Structure 1
Amino acid sequence: MAARRADARRNYARILAAAVEEVALHGADASLEQIARTAEVGSATVRRHFPSRPALLEAVFHERIETLDVRARELLDTSDARAALLEWLTDLTVYAASARGLAAALTGGAADVHHAAHDNACTKRLAQAGGPLLARAAEENAVAPGVSIGDLLTLVAGIALATEHHPGPVGEAQRLLGLAVQGLSPRGPGTARGAGNHDGARAWEQAE
C-alpha cells in the first residue's frame, strides 16, 4: 500500500511537471495525450489525477494564484484603497497575460467568470483574495457603483485572452486595463495620485 501511494505521488509530480511545460508552450489547449507521453504514464493515469482540464490548469497555476492571494492580503494594510485594488489588478493582469492558459483557467470554459466561479477553484481563490480589496475601495467611493469582483476577473481574463497572440502581451494588457480603469474607477477629489513605482499604477495615471 505504501509503495502504491509513493508511485501515485511520483506520477502526480511527473504529470504536473509535464503539464506545466505543455501549457507554457500551447496554453489551455495543451494536449493531454502529449502530457501523458512526456510524463511516461497512460492517459487514464492523467485523468485519474486530473479528472478535467480545469482541474489540471488549476494545479498548473496553483503557485501563481497563491502569490496573488498573499499579495492581496499585504495590500489590505495600505492606506490608499484605490491604489491597492488597482495594483493587485495589475499584478493579476500581468500574470494572466504572461502565463499562457491562465485566462482560460479563470473562465474554466464557462461563458464568463460569474458562471465559472461556481466550480472553478482558480476563480474562487482569486475572488476571495480580491473581494476585500474591492470592498474597501467601494467603501471609500473609489470605484464605480455596482462593480463586482466577478466583473474585475472577467475583465482581466478577457484582456489576457485578447492579447494572447500580441507581440508584447503584457504591455498591451496593461494598456487596455488602463483604458478600462478610466470608466471603472474614476478619480475623485483628493485621491492620491500614483501608487509608488508600480508599472500598472503609472499606466493608469497616464491613461487618466
Structure 2
Amino acid sequence: MRADAKKNYSHILAVAREVVTEHGADASMRDIARRADVGLATLLRHFPTREALFEALLCTNLDALTQTADELETSNSPDEALVSWFQEWLVFAQSYRGVVAMMAAAHTNPDSALYAACAEVHSASARLLLRAQALGSARADMNGDDLFALMTALGWAVDQPSFAPRADRLFQIVASAILTNPSSKDIKNATR
C-alpha cells in the first residue's frame, strides 16, 4: 500500500472508531466517510462492506483477546482461566455496541469478513472450556458452540440499556451455570 493510501486508511479507521463508539454497529458508512472527509467510494474501496470495516476495527481487540486466552491457559487454574476469559469477552462486547449481533451472524458464515475473527474467539473459548472440563471444573455436557452461544447471548443482553446495569449479576449467574463447583469469590473477583 502506498504511503498516502496507508495514511488515508489509518485516518478512516480512526474516524470510524469514533463514529462506532458514538453510534454502535449501526453507524452510517456515509457518516463515517463524511466525517473522515473522504468520498463514500473511497471508504468502500478500503472497506467494501460494514463487516469488512468492523473486521479492521476489531482486529487489534480480537487479537488481544485471543492472546489473553493463550496467557490464561498457561497461567491460571482452568476454572479461573475460563471465568477470566468470559469476563474479558464481556468487556470487549460492551466496548462496541451491536458488535455481538454481527459476530453471532458471522460465526457460521465463511463468506463474512468477521468469520475468521469469530473462529479465533470460538477456538480460544473452546480450548479454555476443554481444559476446565478435563479437570472436572466445568460442565461436561457443554461444548465450544454452547459456550460461544452463552457468551454471545450475555454480550447481547448487556448491550441492551435495560440489562446493562445488571451486567455483573448476569455474568455471575451464567458463569455459575458453566462451572461445576463455582467459587462465588472467584466469579465476583472476575467482575471487578
How many residues are matched?
Answer: 190
Q: What is the aligned counterpart of 1:153 among 148, 153, 172? A: 148
Counterpart of 2:35 in structure 1 is 38
Q: 2:73 aligns with which of 73, 76, 79?
A: 76
- Identity of aligned pairs, percent? 33
- Change in CA separation of 1:137 and 1:156 when aligned onto 2, cut-off 3 Å: same
Structure 1 residues 172 and 97: CA distance shift in structure 2, 3 A: farther
Query: Does 2:63 align with 1:66?
Result: yes
1:88-116 per-residue CA deviation (whole Å, 9 max, x = no partner) reads 10111122123323313422x35xx4x24
Q: Letter of the aligned partner of 1:186 in structure 2?
A: T
Say if 1:103 and 1:161, in contact at 8 Å, map to a contact too.
yes
* Residue of structure 1 aligned with 2:176, choices 168, 182, 187: 182
Query: In structure 2, how many angstroms separate the alpha carbons of the residues matched to 1:144 and 1:116?
Result: 28
| Structure 2 equivalent of residue 129 of structure 1 | 124
The question of whether the paired residues in 1 share the 8 Å contact of 2:103 and 2:118 is answered with yes
The secondary structure found in structure 2 opposite 1:22 is helix
* TM-score after normalising by structure 1: 0.79
Aligned alpha-carbon RMSD (Å): 2.6
Residues of 1 paired with 2:86 and 2:176: CA distance?
A: 14
Q: For 1:122, what is the secondary structure of its paired residue?
A: helix
Q: Which residue of 2 aligns with 1:18?
A: 15
In the alignment, structure 2 segments of 5+ residues that lack a partner are none
Structure 1 residue 180: Cα displacement: 1.9
Deviations 1:132-157 (A, max 9, x none): 21221121122222422232222222
1:162 to 121, 134, 157: 157
Match for 2:45 among 48, 52, 77?
48
For residues 99 and 173 of structure 1, the distance between their equivalents in structure 2, rounded to whole angstroms, comes to: 15
Instruction: Output the CA distance in 1 between the equivalents of 2:80 and 2:12.
Output: 39
Q: C-alpha deviations, 1:49-78, integer Å up to 9, x for none?
A: 112211211211222212211211111123
3-state SS, counterpart of residue 123 of structure 2: helix
Q: TM-score, normalised by structure 2?
A: 0.84
Pick closer, same or farther for the CA change 1:54–1:88 going to 2, 3 Å.
same
